[in-house]
Amino acid sequence: MNCKIDIKGIAPGEHRYDFHIDRSLFEVYENDTVSEADIEASALLVKGAGCFRLTLEITGTVTVACDRCLADLDIPVEVEQSFVVRFPGGAEEDEDVAEDEIMMGQDASELDLSQVIYDYVCTSLPIRKVHEDGKCDPEMMEKMKDILK
């Protein structure tokens, strides 16, 4: 899974990067909730005077087990978030509550978005993951009834 942007020596202006995310990202974090993922992440990086701004758009689908019937449940993912990329020792800017921050490590020349994308996808998932009423797998529901007897 490569969601890295080489920001060292990057030219001022706008740069766009596209990443495809599959289940391997979730395997890296040993996430066993997500069984499949088909996600497009689009990053727009803007290099301004002494600062970087990043807008991340994440759209796609993740597959989890339904809490009720345990069959596969596809959950759409749609996240859009802006960030200010900060470097150690960089000047503090005015607080802007609409934006999150990404802190770069010392000497970092690459911006690795995999953790950010992972966090935002996980946070966007509903706490209760169930099919719509009546859409649960009837066979699985029968089996569950037997188990719960």
Binding site for Zn ion (CB under 5 A): 66, 68-69, 131, 136
Nearest to Zn ion of 64, 68 (CB atom): 68
Nearest to Zn ion of 95, 133 (CB atom): 133
CB of 147 to Zn ion, least distance (A): 15
Residue from 7, 1, 2, 3 nearest 107 by CA? 7
CB of 35 to Zn ion, least distance (A): 14
Q: Are 41 and 56 in contact (CB under 8 A)?
A: yes
DSSP secondary structure letters along 69-114: T-SEEEEEEEEEEEEEEE-TTPPPPPP-TT-EEEEPPTT--EEE-H
CB of 19 to Zn ion, least distance (A): 30
Q: Are 29 and 118 in contact (CB under 8 A)?
A: yes
Nearest to Zn ion of 128, 149 (CB atom): 128
CB of 64 to Zn ion, least distance (A): 10
Q: Are 73 and 131 in contact (CB under 8 A)?
A: yes
CB of 125 to Zn ion, least distance (A): 15
Nearest to Zn ion of 69, 121 (CB atom): 69
Q: Compute the CA torsion angle 23, 111, 97, 95 (nearest 10 deg).
A: 170
Nearest to Zn ion of 8, 135 (CB atom): 135
Query: Which residue of this chain has its Cβ atom nearest to Zn ion in the complex?
Result: 66
